[in-house]
Structure 1
Amino acid sequence: MEPEKTETSEKQNSDHFRSEKYSMDSFDVLGTLGVGTFSRVRLVRSKDQSHMKPLALKILKKTSILKMRQIKHLRNEKEIMEQLDHSFITKILGTFQDDYYVFFVLEYACGGELFTRMKKLGTFPAQDAQFYIAELVLALEYLHDKGIVFRDLKPENILIDRLGHIKLSDFGFAKAISDGKTYTMCGTPEYLAPEIILGKGHGREVDWWALGVLLYEMLAGYPPYYDDSPFNIYQKILLGRLIFPPHFDDVICSLISGLLEPSIQKRIGYKQNAASELKNHAWFSNIDFSSLLAKECASPWVPELMSEDDTSNFNTYPDSLDQPHAPKFTRDRDPFIGF
């Protein structure tokens, strides 16, 4: 399938769901793709015969959202995702709700999580890592140009589409900060930049730090700073003793060292043209970023699928038997109005 046809298909699917209201009755449920603290992602297919492409439906429990005081957090995620339209970022196609749940309708990336691929291979060949990291540079550049910091870059939040390209997903920690700073400590311990741990305030530079952690883990099979205890992980990050495996060459060590620079002012990603600085690094000398953005470059791995709704690249989860109580509020005081 040609990339441009795929993009056209995705655009038509998006326009369909943005232009009309729908409910769970609009879909046939095909299986579960993943589970979270108070959410579950299911594979669904529209009952509308003209829009039969599989979709991912993120289902969030209202009682849990209220209990954990996450309404503002959830609205922020929705509002950020609705303004994004990029080849390497998961598109939100619409939202709706019932008495029990809030629903996000998302495009389906059938290749599963990059995390699963990493576990299977152990380490990536350098050219494979280069391909995925280069696509992430383009996705993060797009977000940062919009004044959005992602704040949760890790293999579990990177999906692979049916052509083998990445889709950045899960914007639960993303925040619009423009040129300012934010002070909330959030993210995954191994991927946290020092300024997040120290509570000094942070900006887009934390995403470039996390990209350095991801690149190191892709090539080494483990993150640069790890431990069973989050506290010990933080201590190691703050100490900053970066040790490279013997098979890392000077060029990759230079790039990772620049991304994992504890001093924000010296880190690759601090300058206004951070993405350009990365693109011009010697490690990317053979990458044509324009062709990559147009999906004209062959991906290192293309999922083999039995059908469009094949879920074999995802873990298997049992169906939930949980039937939560509906939150008690009148419709005119419903904090979820707008989904």
Structure 2
Amino acid sequence: MEPEYDNRHYGNGEGDMQMNGYMNAPPSGALPQHNHGHDHMDVPPPTNGAHLGYELTDFALLKTLGTGTFGRVHLTRFKNTEQFYAMKVLKKVEVVRLKQVEHINSEKQILSQIHFPFIVNMLCTFQDEKNLYMLLEYVVGGELFSHLRRAGRFSPDMTRFYAAEIVLAIEYLHNLDIIYRDLKPENLLLDERGHIKITDFGFAKKVEDRTWTLCGTPEYLAPEIIQSKGHGKAVDWWALGILIFEMLAGYPPFFDDNPFGIYEKILAGRITWPTHFDSAAKDLIKRLLTADRTKRLGNLRAGSEDIKRHKWFRGVDWDALVRKQVQAPIIPVCAHPGDTRNFETYPEPGDEEDATGGMDPFRNLFRDF
């Protein structure tokens, strides 16, 4: 009998928002004068901090795709080209009040450095008196979380496909000394062809060795984060083990009604294995969920190659996968580039008073925007 599992408990870490699926775009056009010669890419590369002179009036804000502690994400249309994007809007006064300035600037810096097939691309940023704006691809397929809940659980082949694309994305980030730290189905979007796009880099951090911040989603936290021992890249491989289990089972291996109960179960390390798990899947998950990070798969001498060579991934064509030449198991229903049927519906914001009175006391805190 499968346990009942429904709610997700969110931690209070470095992340800017706990957004439910938003971001990303069909392989359509770039913003004007923003191609940099990369014609082979689906979208233009990051702008590395350039705001390109855009203002909010250049865009039509459409439906809300996600909400968070101090902002929301809108489907938006660039008026000059009619292209659709996701616009992340963050209230400066709330970012400052919640002491998230450093983390928002870090997220912006990290997103400006990365460009990979399975990671959401940031196109530009800008600011006005009240808000910070991050323009991102719009990914029409919605959250993997929604597709998983609808299916109940995924087959081994489906799980393997998504896990393999995630392995490549984490490998890419780790090669740049970036820890992601928030791997979970809610932060995985599907593009129009069904491929993974990792979104929400609010917890991501560039670190060469170790960091000590408690952050993430309780069910996915590695023991070393809970114990404040200092943590590094190995936490992403632990989270991969949790994710593979959840995709195969329909629920994570450690859950409880409150975060502290979850932490106790993670530290105890006892897993009840569903009977339909095969031996290769169990072996991979056990190796990823090794409490001793010095023995955890992905954190050994061969790094991510150990994971890619594991018998559970046998038959995966990694080169074809990174080129998106492998057929995805789910092709999202999408009638047009601005289709939002794969996202939840949120109340739309009303007109808000300008608490700053037209002044911008925080501009110097966000110079990179």
Q: TM-score range by the shorter chain?
A: over 0.9
1:150 to 2:180 alignment: yes
User: Out of 326, 335, 338, which is 2:365 matched to?
Assistant: 335
Amino acid at match of 2:69: T
Equivalent position of 1:32 in the other structure: 64
Aligned pairs for 1:131-280 (under 5 A) are 131-178=161-208, 180-280=209-309
Q: 1:63, 1:325 within 8 Å by CA — same for their partners in 2?
A: no
Q: Decide whether the 8 Å contact of 2:51 with 2:126 is kept in 1.
A: no
1:46 Cα deviation from its structure 2 partner: 0.6
- For residues 207 and 257 of structure 1, what CA distance do their matches in structure 2 show? 15
Q: Secondary structure at the match of 1:217?
A: helix
Tell me how far apart the structure 2 counterparts of residues 278 and 294 of structure 1 sit (CA, whole Å): 19
- 1:31-81 Cα deviation digits (max 9, x unpaired): 1111111120100111113xx321000011111101101111100000011
CA deviation after TM superposition for structure 1 residue 270, in Å: 1.4
Match in the other structure for 2:125: 95
Q: Distance in 1 between matches of 2:27 and 2:337?
A: 18
In structure 2, runs of 5+ residues without a counterpart are 1-25, 30-38
Q: How far apart in 1 are the matches of 2:207 and 2:132?
A: 26
Which stretches of structure 1, 4 residues or more, deviate above 6 A after TM superposition?
3-7
Residue 99 of structure 1 contacts residue 326 of structure 1 at CA under 8 Å; is this kept in 2? no
> Residues 62 and 237 from structure 1, CA distance in 2 versus in 1: closer, same or farther, beyond 3 angstroms?
same
Q: Which residue identity does 1:237 align to in structure 2?
A: I
Q: Tell me the SS of whatever aligns to 1:33.
A: strand
Deviation at 1:262, TM superposition (A): 0.7
2:181 match: secondary structure: coil
User: What residue in structure 2 maps to residue 117 of structure 1?
Assistant: 147
C-alpha spacing 1:54/1:205, structure 2 compared with 1 (3 Å): same
- C-alpha separation between the residues in 2 aligned to 1:164 and 1:249? 25
SS in 1 for 2:89: strand
How far does the alpha carbon of each residue in 1:184-212 deviate from its partner, in whole angstroms, 9 at most, with x for none? 00000000000000000000000000000
1:92 corresponds to which letter in structure 2?
Answer: M
Please give the alpha-carbon distance, in whole angstroms, between the structure 1 residues aligned to 2:200 and 2:301: 26
Between 271-280 and 156-165, report the one with greater CA deviation.
271-280
Q: Distance in 2 between matches of 1:209 and 1:324?
A: 44
Deviations 1:103-132 (A, max 9, x none): 100001100011111111110011111000
Q: Report the Cα distance in structure 2 between the residues aligned to 1:250 and 1:104, rounded to whole angstroms.
A: 44
Task: Tell me how far apart the structure 2 counterparts of residues 5 and 53 of structure 1 sit (CA, whole Å).
Answer: 7
Q: Which runs of 5+ in 1 are unaligned?
A: none
Distance in 2 between the 1:25 and 1:9 partners? 28
Q: Corresponding residue for 1:316?
A: 345
Which residue in the other structure is 2:52 paired with?
20
Match of 1:54 among 70, 73, 84: 84
Q: Post-superposition shift, 1:12?
A: 4.3
Assess if the C-alpha contact under 8 Å between 2:223 and 2:267 holds in 1: yes
Classify the secondary structure of the residue corresponding to 2:225. helix
Q: Report SS of the residue matched to 2:125.
A: strand
Distance of 2:197 and 2:59 partners within structure 1 = 23
The equivalent position to 1:130 in structure 2, one of 148, 160, 168, is: 160
Aligned CA-pair RMSD = 2.1
Give a deviation string over 1:225-270, Cα, whole Å, max 9, x none.
0001110100000000122111101000000000001111111021
Tell me how far 1:324 sits from its aligned partner.
5.0
- Asked if the contact 1:191/1:213 (under 8 Å) is kept, the reply is yes
Structure with bigger helix share is 1
- Contact map agreement 1:63 1:324 (CA 8 A) in 2: no
TM-score by length of 1: 0.93
- 1:337 deviates by 2.6
Q: Given residue 107 of structure 1, which amino acid in structure 2 is its aligned partner?
A: E
CA shift at 1:322, angstroms?
5.7
CA contact (8 A) 1:89 1:139 kept: yes
Q: 1:5 deviation in Å?
A: 8.6
Distance 1:330 1:290 in 2: 49
- Cα 1:27/1:197, change in 2 over 3 Å: same
Q: What is the letter of the counterpart of residue 303 of structure 1?
A: P
Give yes or no for contact 2:298–2:305 (8 Å, CA) kept in 1.
no
Q: How far has the Cα of 1:172 moved from its partner?
A: 0.4
SS of residue paired to 2:63: strand
Aligned length: 333
